[in-house]
């Protein structure tokens, strides 16, 4: 097996660079060790594409008659060899739904901005849903509804003339159902507000002001993170660090993990 | 008391469970859906005003709150949280209606039983301060205020933080729990100076973030859903007279804060 | 000006001598329930309003409720006459705008405006013609209908091509218009009406009184609890409120002013506006206390732009109040009711109510 450098190259490269530029002052304990003994196996698992014939593949059992009455006492070398090495590879799981999701969210990128709860009580929420209609009692209306409804239409519904829906037609029909429900909900929200105001309701602040305030909280956090990242970028100018190696931070996660290091650096060195 | 099945707490760990709003169980639900509430409702009208309407409200509430911050909250909590949010007023509507309607049906009972109960002395003492000397006066005041109301709404007997008890009529889905959403005005025609100043005052209070401590004691449904099948479109007055006679005052007396 | 229903004979204003007053020469208007031939035939023949209402519902919604409103209106008009505050003559819309901003005349105003919307709503309806053997669509909706997705396929109307082209210009397509109309009505929770209006393309400031305005755009407007589309009064509120502000300033300086000027009339739209202006004033006084967040919001701008100084001519009223669907369609039936209602709109009357369309490239202001 050839020496795998890919897995560790990035971190060695980057640490070396930081050490050189003084972003990181002390050599980490593992540095020399990893440099001298790079791992020989590729730690990145490559996914395996399952094909339908794989599972259907039958082990060819050829039965030979034992003419010489000899008995096998040990396995041959080739028999000892591990044959099914594929078993250690992660299968690449492919779902039809994923393609639909991909199409939908590519067409409606802002749908991804809707907050989504990932927790389910028992993990079987979808089994409670009946996709005869798009609105579900057990599930918020979102892009996933379009996907599930498309599949339902494909499998269960026929056009008025009795013919089956094509994938494209089913997706379109479910997409428009989604638009209609969203339009109704949005209108309901607008009208409800207007109606309330006409009966003398008052609101402490408008939703715009509320949003601006809310946004500002995140901007404040982000300003700090951005400051760190700018320093990092400046330090990294001209380096060979691989693309994407600049640490990407979630604003929620607070400042960069390199914060401590950067703070120690005197401004002149940057 | 309320309808949302709430996550159980197990050994201090809060399990986040998704749940649905379901119609709360009334003690006499079975009997009422068979026979109606004697003195005020036929079984059909009871079905419309409670069984169907409450189901309609809570199902819509579930549909709108699924996957949102309101998901695991009681209608009462949703009222308080959505009241100030301009874009959540439709959610507020369903929560507020469901809560008010539940308050309303909790206090109903058949006429015979209702006639045996009466407002506590304590309650009447407070009402006297508002020139309501006896139950008959209260009744006529409620009937008059309710039947002169245009459109949908609720009638409440509310207790203010200063212990005063007053009648409050809220339009549409107005709630007594937050002054900004009590909707006691009707600005659909013109606006006179009094209501203009009233709104300005509310705005000032809202801007100052003032809090509300008003509590409802009695709630009466003025929505068409509550009477149209039995009493017809013009039947609000007759309905109010009947419904007043079916109020179980024991329930109301208990709602009064007694300290 | 205000357009009353299409048929000239629908409203009969019967002037008669007031017997209760000493000054018997003063004329008093009393009203009768407006005549609606279609509905009266239905009432006599004891048949349903095909495609929309049962006979019982028509009786309740139009005859019972209408009569109640008329009686209340007459009673209150008479009472106000007795107290001698004001006296009213003329048609309904005149009375509505006269009583609009006076709390004492609230009952008159409400009864009159409700009566007006009732008439306007029913006048543009005609029974649908049902296909042979087709089930009547007047049916109570069940619980499952909450989950149903509204359908907007196969929409056929008998609109004349001109109206279709105007609708397509203003809303995109008849389908989109229908969706918007039904969604607006679905959004209304309590009593309320969705109006199809022609919107004047110029603000009223630039129009003289006789000028009918140029109508270039159609729009949908909601009113609640008997509110009326009253272009004149709505737009006038803006001017009155400005006057009020200046009066208020004068008052602050210790000057006296007539009581009626104090009477502040304004709709909520303008009160939002007011907030903005007041803030600006405060800003002028003390620039330090300015809060960048409370600068006029989009809402303020919307309100300011959408309503004030625009003249509206209503052409269609869709009553979305609960009573209309509760009787025949039940608690769950609002969507179904509105879909059926769409089938029963008499578009020829809508076309007739609309002012002549002006095609022009420049809109607004």
Do the domain assignments include residue C131?
A: no
Same domain, yes or no: A103 and A177:
yes
Contact state of C61 with B233 under an 8 Å Cβ cutoff: yes
Which range of B137-141, C216-220, C266-270 scores highest in mean pLDDT? It is B137-141
Same domain, yes or no: C32 and C82:
yes
d(CA C330, CA C350): 29
What is the per-residue pLDDT for C107?
A: 87
Tokens representing C339 are 């879909």
Task: Report the gap between the CA of B89 and the closest CA in chain A (Å).
Answer: 5
Do the domain assignments include residue B36?
A: yes
Q: Give residue-wise pLDDT tens across range A211-226.
A: 888 899 999 999 999 9
Do the domain assignments include residue A72?
A: no
Same domain, yes or no: A123 and A143:
yes
% of chain B with per-residue pLDDT over 90: 62
In the block, which residue shows the tokens 């007694």?
B258
Same domain, yes or no: C66 and C112:
yes
Same domain, yes or no: C334 and C217:
yes
What is the per-residue pLDDT for C263?
A: 38
Same domain, yes or no: C171 and C315:
yes
Q: How far is CA C5 from CA B124, C195, C232, C347, in A?
A: 52, 13, 18, 14
Same domain, yes or no: C86 and C218:
no
Contact state of C61 with B52 under an 8 Å Cβ cutoff: no
Contacts of A185 in chain B (CB under 8 A): 64, 90
Do the domain assignments include residue B105?
A: yes
How many CA atoms are closer than 13 Å to the CA of B84, on its beta-carbon side?
19
Contacts of A139 in chain B (CB under 8 A): 66-67
Mean pLDDT of chain A: 78
Same domain, yes or no: A128 and A211:
no
Do the domain assignments include residue B178?
A: yes
Element containing residue B167 per DSSP (H, E): strand B165-171
User: What angle do the packed helices C231-252 and C268-285 form, to 10 degrees?
Assistant: 30
Partnered with residue A49 across adjacent β-strands are A92
Mean pLDDT of C303-314: 65
What is the per-residue pLDDT for C71?
A: 92
Same domain, yes or no: C330 and C261:
yes
Do the domain assignments include residue B44?
A: yes
C141: how many CB neighbours lie within 10 A of its CB? 19
Torsion of CA C1, C5, C9, C14, to 10 degrees: -60
What is the per-residue pLDDT for A77?
A: 82
What is the per-residue pLDDT for A25?
A: 83
What is the per-residue pLDDT for C8?
A: 33
Tokens representing C144 are 């499952």
- pLDDT band for position A6 (50/70/90)? low
d(CA C268, CA A203): 13
Contact state of A193 with B84 under an 8 Å Cβ cutoff: no
Do the domain assignments include residue C347?
A: yes
Q: Could you tell me which of C10, C57, C195, C55 has the C-alpha nearest to residue C117?
A: C195
pLDDT at C85 over 60: no
What is the per-residue pLDDT for A42?
A: 66
Do the domain assignments include residue A115?
A: yes
Tokens representing A92 are 């690449």
Element containing residue B116 per DSSP (H, E): helix B111-116
d(CA C16, CA C26): 9
Q: Give residue-wise pLDDT tens across range C183-208.
A: 999 999 999 999 999 987 666 555 55
Q: Give residue-wise pLDDT tens across range A142-172.
A: 999 999 999 999 999 988 888 999 999 999 9
Do the domain assignments include residue A57?
A: no
A241 CB within 8 Å of a chain C CB:
no
Do the domain assignments include residue A192?
A: yes
Q: Give residue-wise pLDDT tens across range C170-179.
A: 999 999 999 9
pLDDT at C261 over 60: no
pLDDT at A124 over 70: yes
Task: Report the gap between the CA of C27 and the closest CA in chain A (Å).
Answer: 35
A118 CB within 8 Å of a chain B CB:
no
More confident residue, A211 or C54: C54
Same domain, yes or no: A104 and A189:
yes
pLDDT at C44 over 60: yes
Q: Give residue-wise pLDDT tens across range B6-59.
A: 333 333 344 456 678 888 889 899 999 999 999 999 999 999 999 999 999 999
What is the per-residue pLDDT for C76?
A: 87
pLDDT at C6 over 70: no
Task: Report the gap between the CA of A181 and the closest CA in chain B (Å).
Answer: 11
Overall domain count for chain C: 2
Query: Which site among C97, C113, C225 would you substitute to test the B interface, given the most B Cβ atoms closer than 10 Å to its Cβ?
Result: C225
For chains B and C, CB pairs below 8 A equal 119
Same domain, yes or no: C81 and C116:
yes
Q: How far is CA C349 from CA C339, C344, C345, in A?
A: 19, 12, 9
What is the per-residue pLDDT for B109?
A: 93
Q: Give residue-wise pLDDT tens across range B56-83.
A: 999 999 999 988 889 889 999 999 999 9
Angle CA B124–B127–B132, to nearest 5: 105
Same domain, yes or no: A124 and A157:
yes
Helices (H), C253-297: 259-262, 268-285
Contacts of C191 in chain B (CB under 8 A): 150-152
Contacts of A169 (CB under 8 A, 6+ apart): A159
CATH number of the domain that residue B121 is part of? 3.55.40.20
Contact state of A212 with C180 under an 8 Å Cβ cutoff: no
What is the per-residue pLDDT for C249?
A: 61
pLDDT at C350 over 90: yes
Mean pLDDT of C237-259: 52
pLDDT at C50 over 50: yes
Domain residues for the domain of C161 are: 149-282+295-365
Do the domain assignments include residue A84?
A: no
Q: Could you tell me which of B42, B44, B46 has the C-alpha nearest to residue B26?
A: B46
Check the CA dihedral C242-C243-C245-C250 and report its sign: positive
Q: Could you tell me which of C196, C197, C195, C200 has the C-alpha nearest to residue C216?
A: C200
Overall domain count for chain B: 1
pLDDT at B137 over 80: yes
Overall domain count for chain A: 3
A197 CB within 8 Å of a chain C CB:
yes
C187 CB within 8 Å of a chain A CB:
yes
Same domain, yes or no: C62 and C100:
yes
Mean pLDDT of A183-189: 94
Domain residues for the domain of A16 are: 1-44
Do the domain assignments include residue B148?
A: yes
Same domain, yes or no: A122 and A166:
yes
Mean pLDDT of A43-71: 63
pLDDT at C164 over 50: yes
C148 CB within 8 Å of a chain A CB:
yes
Same domain, yes or no: C239 and C322:
yes
* ipTM (interface predicted TM): 0.89
B83: how many CB neighbours lie within 10 A of its CB? 24
Do the domain assignments include residue A55?
A: no
B44 CB within 8 Å of a chain C CB:
no
Tokens representing C234 are 């709505």
Q: Could you tell me which of C295, B220, B92 has the C-alpha nearest to residue A189?
A: B92
What is the per-residue pLDDT for C312?
A: 82
For chains A and C, CB pairs below 8 A equal 65
Do the domain assignments include residue C287?
A: no
Domain residues for the domain of B214 are: 9-255
d(CA B74, CA B21): 8
B199 CB within 8 Å of a chain A CB:
yes
Chains touching A (3+ CB pairs < 8 Å): B, C
A127 CB within 8 Å of a chain B CB:
no
Same domain, yes or no: A194 and A213:
no
Do the domain assignments include residue A40?
A: yes
Do the domain assignments include residue A63?
A: no
Q: Could you tell me which of C303, A154, C259, A137 has the C-alpha nearest to residue B192?
A: C259
pLDDT at B158 over 90: yes
Contacts of C291 in chain A (CB under 8 A): none
B87 CB within 8 Å of a chain C CB:
no
- Whole-structure pTM value: 0.78
């Amino acid at each position: 097996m050839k020496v795998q450098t890919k897995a560790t190259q990035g971190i060695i490269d980057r640490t070396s660079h930081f050490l050189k530029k003084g972003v990181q002052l002390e050599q980490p304990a593992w540095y020399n060790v990893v440099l001298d003994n790079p791992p020989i196996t590729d730690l990145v698992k490559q996914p395996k594409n399952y094909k339908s014939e794989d599972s259907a593949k039958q082990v060819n059992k050829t039965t030979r008659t034992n003419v010489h009455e000899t008995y096998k006492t040990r396995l041959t070398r080739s028999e000892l060899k591990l044959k099914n090495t594929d078993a250690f590879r992660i299968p690449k799981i492919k779902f039809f739904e994923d393609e639909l999701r991909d199409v939908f969210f590519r067409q409606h990128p802002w749908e991804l901005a809707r907050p989504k709860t990932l927790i389910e009580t028992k993990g079987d929420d979808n089994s409670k849903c009946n996709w005869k209609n798009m609105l579900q009692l057990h599930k918020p209306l979102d892009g996933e509804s379009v996907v599930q409804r498309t599949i339902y239409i494909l499998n269960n519904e026929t056009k008025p003339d009795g013919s089956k829906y094509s994938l494209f037609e089913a997706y379109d029909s479910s997409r428009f159902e989604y638009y209609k429900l969203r339009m109704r909900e949005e209108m309901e929200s607008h009208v409800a507000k207007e109606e309330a105001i006409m009966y003398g309701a008052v609101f402490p602040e408008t939703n715009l002001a509320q949003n601006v305030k809310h946004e500002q909280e995140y901007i404040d956090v982000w300003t700090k993170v951005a400051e760190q990242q700018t320093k990092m970028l400046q330090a990294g100018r001209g380096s060979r660090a691989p693309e994407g190696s600049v640490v990407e931070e979630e604003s929620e996660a607070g400042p960069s993990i390199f914060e401590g290091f950067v703070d120690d650096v005197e401004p002149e060195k940057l | 008391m309320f309808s949302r099945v709430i996550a159980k707490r197990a050994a201090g760990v809060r399990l986040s469970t998704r749940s649905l709003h379901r119609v709360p169980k009334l003690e006499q639900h079975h009997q009422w859906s068979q026979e109606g509430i004697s003195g005020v409702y036929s079984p059909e009208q009871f079905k419309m005003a409670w069984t169907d309407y409450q189901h309609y409200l809570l199902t819509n509430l579930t549909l709108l709150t699924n996957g949102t911050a309101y998901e695991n909250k009681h209608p009462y909590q949703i009222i308080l949280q959505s009241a100030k949010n301009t874009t959540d007023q439709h959610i507020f509507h369903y929560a507020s209606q469901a809560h008010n309607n539940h308050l309303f049906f909790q206090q109903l009972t058949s006429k015979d039983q209702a006639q045996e109960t009466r407002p506590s002395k304590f309650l009447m003492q407070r009402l006297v301060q508002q020139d309501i000397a006896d139950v008959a006066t209260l009744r006529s005041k409620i009937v008059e205020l309710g039947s002169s109301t245009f459109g949908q709404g609720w009638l409440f007997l509310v207790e203010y933080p200063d212990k005063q008890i007053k009648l409050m009529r809220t339009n549409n889905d107005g709630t007594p729990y937050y002054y900004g959403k009590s909707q006691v005005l009707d600005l659909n025609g013109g606006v006179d100076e009094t209501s203009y100043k009233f709104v300005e005052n509310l705005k000032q209070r809202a801007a100052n973030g003032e809090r509300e401590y008003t509590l409802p004691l009695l709630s009466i449904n003025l929505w068409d859903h509550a009477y149209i099948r039995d009493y017809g479109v013009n039947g609000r007055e007759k309905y109010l007279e009947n419904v007043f006679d079916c109020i179980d005052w024991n329930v109301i007396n208990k709602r009064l804060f007694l300290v | 000006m205000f357009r009353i229903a299409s048929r000239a004979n629908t409203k009969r204003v019967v002037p008669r001598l007031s017997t209760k007053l000493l000054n018997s020469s003063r004329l008093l208007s009393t009203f009768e329930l407006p005549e609606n031939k279609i509905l009266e035939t239905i009432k006599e023949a004891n048949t349903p309003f095909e495609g929309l209402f049962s006979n019982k519902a028509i009786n309740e919604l139009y005859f019972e409720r209408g009569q109640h409103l008329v009686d209340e209106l007459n009673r209150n008009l008479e009472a106000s006459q007795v107290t001698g505050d004001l006296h009213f003559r003329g048609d309904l819309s005149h009375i509505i705008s006269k009583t609009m901003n006076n709390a004492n005349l609230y009952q008159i105003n409400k009864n009159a405006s409700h009566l007006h919307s009732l008439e306007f709503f029913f006048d543009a309806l005609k029974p649908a013609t049902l296909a042979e053997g087709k089930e009547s669509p007047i049916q109570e909706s069940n619980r499952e209908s909450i989950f149903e997705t509204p359908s907007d396929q196969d929409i056929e109307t008998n609109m004349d091509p001109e109206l279709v082209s105007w609708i397509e210009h203003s809303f995109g397509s008849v389908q989109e218009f229908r969706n918007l109309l039904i969604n607006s009505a679905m959004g209304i929770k309590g009593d309320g009406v969705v109006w199809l209006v022609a919107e004047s393309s110029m603000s009223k400031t630039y129009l003289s009184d006789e000028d009918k305005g140029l109508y270039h755009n159609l729009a949908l407007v909601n009113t609640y609890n008997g509110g009326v589309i009253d272009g004149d009064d709505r737009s006038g509120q803006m001017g009155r409120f400005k006057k009020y502000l200046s009066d208020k300033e004068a008052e602050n300086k210790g000057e006296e002013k007539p009581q009626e000027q104090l009477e502040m009339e304004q709709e909520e739209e303008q009160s939002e506006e007011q907030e903005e202006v007041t803030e600006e004033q405060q800003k002028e006084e003390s620039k330090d206390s300015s809060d960048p967040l409370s600068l006029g919001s989009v809402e303020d701008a919307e309100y300011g732009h959408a309503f004030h100084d625009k003249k509206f001519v209503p052409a269609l009223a869709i009553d979305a109040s609960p009573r209309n669907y509760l009787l025949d369609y039940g608690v769950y039936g609002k969507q179904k009711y509105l879909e059926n209602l769409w089938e029963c709109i008499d578009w020829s009357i809508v076309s007739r109510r609309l002012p002549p369309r002006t095609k022009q490239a420049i809109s607004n202001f």
